[in-house]
Chain A
């Protein structure tokens, strides 16, 4: 080949954009000039954005935040807007990937900034969990504390958790109570002690974990409501103590003053016992009863017809009153009305003869009764169906009477946790106090105690001992001091030396152990974790990995699902919402509990079996019991226990269609596509919509009414450009879920209008079913992965995220993607990330936030 061809080849190759310097000038700027300058130029500066100022690579470097936004809008398909001809996909792709790699390059060049967390006091959930893990007491002292303030969607944000004197008072009282509960023998029982739970809403089954400090004989009364749906049918009460196979007792149907109940006598040892009870209709007995009444009715009908034929009916009184078991007159008896007829002794014989009653029955009533008596016979199947539709009875109150003949009480199990010296009560010495308090303080303060601190703690016990208290009693004061100290109440991270805003250091071993345990367990480090911190081994990656795996398998990791999950998915709000009982009569306490349990088990399953996080969006399975399955219209699920349920063939998929989530994103009386769209944007995409502008102009009232579907009414959102910028994103998502009513049940009609759940994302991709919506949201796995990473980070760190956290987030999301999106990978990567492992000095100025859009959730 001669040089001419070579030169041509080289020349051609040099022109190829994929060879050589792909720069801002060659790739991005021409694209932007062609497709964006029309609006985003110096004069018009649409949306406040002027892109003309970025002409060279240098100027690009200073506009990081702007270009992050550009990237987001480009990839989401929002920009260029639909009115402009769409650029070819490969050019968009080229620009996007250049921007992404450039950002990554910039991030690597910048020194790591892990941020800092403000000292965090334990919130209520953490206080309860910590006290439980520390001492094993079985009451929740923090339930009395004022509610924690939350921010960025979580209630463990250091800056926002404040400490008022009211709360301090509670801490002191709680410390005293906890110390007493852990150490004291229970007080003398007042005989007989009566304890009760009353006015229970339907729960299925009722379960009460109650502490019985005294061993002895107890009598427990389980009562059901007197009337259920205006009837008191025969039924059965099941009672199970401590998970034993249940005993059954028949439910009385006699009229009594105190309602219907069953007293169960038993002997219980001291300690915690579980009382479980539930009640069901005795369908067989009801059927037998009703069938007999039905046969009766047929007989009387036959007799009446005969009598009428023979002309021997002497109305009105010839009405044998076929009564109910309770003796009330039954309106099924009927006869022709005749106000003047006198009683005929012969016809009034079915009530046991004797003097016939004279009753004057108005003609309409008599006619009605006759019609009822002669109504067509009901088949057994029909009757069974009617019975099956009746409401089940439920346990309405439980009373515990006792102990009778109590045995002398022994110390609670928690005693040994405090007195590690191992001595029995009354045999302690001063040396014991030293040993016991040292160990308790080490565990409670999550680090070894200094000599000075220990001396002080011991001195409190000494002070009490000098006042005449035994060493046991005196130790309580030491325990109180431990629990009231800021070392217990706050998770503090020391800043040695003078503050240097640029100093970046690893958090200390014990500080890291605390971060780990409060992240995954919402509670204190256990002995193994503390031990490793003491040996300095937590800084080794292999050890750290192993610990995270162990902690995720530990039952305490359930708290991650409850605490983090309940807030991320907002199902914690289920405790407080009240759907309108007229519109949604099937909503009950039992259904509320079932909804919470479904989401909890679903998340728990993903965590424990280490599924891909995409299951949150695309899983075609869930967990349900009979009550929930009935709401979902899924057949074949009976009984109260939860089990995995296949969703194939149903319109449901992942968390988006779980009843709990659908309910917390609705109003009490109706669904709200805006609320649901907002929920998705906030919690799945971490792209919360900006707040509505001030002075939102009112919708034209005449256009809004009951003559249009919700969708039509909300078209106004999109018609007005001021509203459309946000609502074009939110509304379609919510409308995609309109087939689920405000408590998550499937429907095809909204009043008299069929539901239209079609929609499109701003990128143009369209969907017609909720499943398709979920698939679309899951398509760009990166979005959801990044969202979940950010949410977990906020929870793990206890602070909001800033621009300087972006590199860490991106890295974590990438690693998760590389490992099949498994949940455990995300946890591991978060734990190993700089923001979790390290800490920066304080900024010179008071804590400022980077100049990003201040959204409570994310980095836009």
Chain B
């Protein structure tokens, strides 16, 4: 059962663990008083194994109603769509490290650094842009950031040798050695946002106090423990203490606000069997998370890099990754396009909901900045430049949409991140291999 008060007038469509988020009624808005301007949200929507570029890239210049096939579902929102071409992620290339393009593509995508070639023990990348933002502005929300995925990375075996599976399964890194692993179960995400819902408020408050005491103590205890461990073990224990400190802060924040968050959707039963349901549910959760200002930074890994998923619901029984190595076969290219298009359609449904969610003077889409893309362009030859980059949303008026701008090729993708960070209120001189910013986001071109 859901914690908090139910809205008796609520109607919910219930499928197999699927539900629709309702537009947040004005009277219920917990986050923004009329005087405060809504903040800018950042979402990175990652699609794996590349995109068939000829069906994605529109003509340079203003976007007409007639868009390339893959982009077509975004036509109703084209005024808030900015396509950028000419960007590359240099560190996805082998640079002497041999094979492993998928692992590198995912790991370098949001970090822009050299990915250490290892099968296990000594992972090393960098901090991803979403975590840089979370570390700065995350304190203002209950959850500093939200990492979601629609593909369970639980397959045993090697993913993209000689790189560890950790690289292919994560795009968000809170430190050069620790990934911020995405959550695949919608119910777990719901519970993170709204609590497990099995306690009354008095008990919950009581246990929060107990938890704070316990966490204080384990932090103290860890200091003592650390003296008896060697330095590698101490680093492991550090992960624990860092996590504990963050949880403590969250508890304190929750106590201060004492907000009874009213969920606007039914708790999902679990991870849906159907991919469409799963993706839609994750988008619903993102919508709700933004609306309730539970977080302002999120990443969604629609599939892990190197995804072997089959798409039977659109009659593609073949595995995704092998098909992207089409070697020019037009049948396979067509199938890959259909998968790209499928992802885009589901994304467009989400954008539609953002556009229909009123907020402040406009809608939620106006105050959101979404990067839709992936670490690969042509999956057949593992292309890391001329990447698909689509910015969606108004970003609180700081991005001018409705056009396709070609930037000097190659421009580091991290330049875009510096600009994005700016728009969420984080000033960074440099991130990864950035050499500047992307002025084209707002300038007329």
The chain A residues found within 8 Å of chain B, CB to CB, are 116, 118-119, 121, 144, 146-147, 149-153, 155, 157-160, 162-170, 172-173, 176-177, 199, 453, 456, 460, 463-464, 467, 477, 480-481, 484-487, 489-490, 492-496, 499, 566-567, 570, 572-573, 575-576, 578, 580-583, 667-669, 682, 688, 690-695, 698-699, 701, 704, 799-800, 841-842, 846-847, 849, 854-856
Contact = CB atoms under 8 A, between A and B. Distances in A.
A499 to B, nearest CB: 5
Given A162-B239, A484-B218, A799-B121, A169 B192 contact: yes
A849 B117 CA distance: 12
Contacts of B180: 164, 166
A172 B247 contact: yes
B231 A480 contact: no
Contacts of A575: 154
A399 to B, nearest CB: 15
19 contacts: A118-B233, A119-B229, A144-B187, A147-B152, A162-B181, A163-B239, A164-B174, A170-B188, A176-B207, A456-B217, A463-B210, A486-B240, A576-B155, A691-B99, A694-B101, A695-B381, A698-B328, A847-B232, A856-B161
Nearest to B329: A701
Given A481-B214, A489-B240, A580-B310, A842 B231 contact: yes
Given A151-B165, A701-B327, 8 more contacts: A149-B169, A150-B165, A492-B233, A493-B233, A494-B228, A694-B94, A842-B231, A856-B162
Given A159-B120, A460-B214, A576-B155, A854 B228 contact: no
Residue of B100, B118, B191, B242 with most chain A CB atoms under a 10 A cut-off: B118
A14 to B, nearest CB: 50
Contacts of B179: 149, 162, 164
A460 B231 contact: no
B166 interface: yes
B128 to A, nearest CB: 13
Q: Which 3 A-B pairs have the closest CB atoms?
A: A151-B120, A168-B243, A159-B121
Interface stretch (B35-43, B71-79, B311-319): B311-319
A463 B117 CA distance: 50
B164 A160 contact: yes
A573 B214 contact: no
Contacts of B123: 160
A149 B182 CA distance: 12
Nearest to A161: B236
A490 B181 contact: no
Nearest to A148: B154
A667 B120 contact: no
A842 B232 contact: yes
Given A169-B192, A477-B210, A576-B152, A159 B317 contact: no
Question: Main SS of chain A's interface residues?
Answer: loop
B185 A144 contact: yes
A855 B162 contact: yes
B230 A147 contact: no
A847 B210 contact: no
Contacts of B196: 173, 177
Contacts of A151: 119-121, 164-166
Contacts of B328: 698, 701
A691 B312 contact: no
A495 B178 contact: no
A567 B153 CA distance: 14
A800 B121 contact: yes
A176 B16 CA distance: 29
B230 A567 contact: no
Contacts of A158: 236
A578 B121 contact: no
Contacts of A492: 225, 229, 233, 237
B230 A842 contact: yes
A147 B120 contact: no
A701 B123 CA distance: 38
A480 B236 CA distance: 22
Interface string B216-248: 011001100100111111001101101110110
A582 B317 contact: yes
B213 A800 contact: no
B302 to A, nearest CB: 16
Given A147-B153, A164-B180, A573-B156, A480 B210 contact: yes
Contact of B214 (A453, A477, A847): A477
Contacts of A160: 120-121, 123, 164, 166
B122 interface: yes
A695 B381 CA distance: 7
B237 A159 contact: no
A570 B154 CA distance: 11
A387 B187 CA distance: 43
A164 B183 contact: no
Nearest to B244: A168
Contacts of B121: 118, 151, 157, 159-160, 799-800, 847, 849
B241 to A, nearest CB: 9
A668 B309 CA distance: 9
Contacts of B233: 118-119, 492-493, 495
Contacts of A582: 317
B416 interface: no
B322 interface: yes
Contacts of B250: 165, 169
B120 A157 contact: yes
Contact of A693 (B99, B147, B153, B232): B99
A163 B178 CA distance: 8
B98 A147 contact: no
A694 B160 CA distance: 12
A669 B318 contact: yes
Contacts of A121: 236, 240
A667 B213 CA distance: 52
A177 B199 CA distance: 11
B260 to A, nearest CB: 18
Contacts of A846: 122, 232
Contact of B164 (A149, A494, A668): A149
Contacts of A485: 218, 221
Contacts of A149: 153, 164-166, 169, 179, 181
A567 B154 CA distance: 11
Interface in B307-350: 310, 312, 317-319, 322, 327-329
Given A163-B240, A847-B121, A484 B214 contact: yes
Residue of A146, A464, A842 with most chain B CB atoms under a 10 A cut-off: A146
A453 B155 CA distance: 40
A192 to B, nearest CB: 15
B274 to A, nearest CB: 11
Residue of A149, A453, A682 with most chain B CB atoms under a 10 A cut-off: A149
A159 B122 contact: yes
A846 B124 CA distance: 13
A463 B209 CA distance: 10
Contacts of B177: 162
B206 interface: yes
B60 to A, nearest CB: 30
B140 interface: no
B222 A486 contact: yes
Given A119-B237, A480-B210, A490-B237, A698 B162 contact: no
Contact of B317 (A146, A169, A566, A580): A580
B278 to A, nearest CB: 13
B161 A691 contact: yes
A342 to B, nearest CB: 51
B422 interface: no
B352 interface: no
Contacts of B246: 165, 168
B158 interface: yes
Contacts of B255: none
Contacts of A173: 191, 196
B239 A116 contact: no
Interface string B49-61: 0000000000000
A682 B162 CA distance: 13
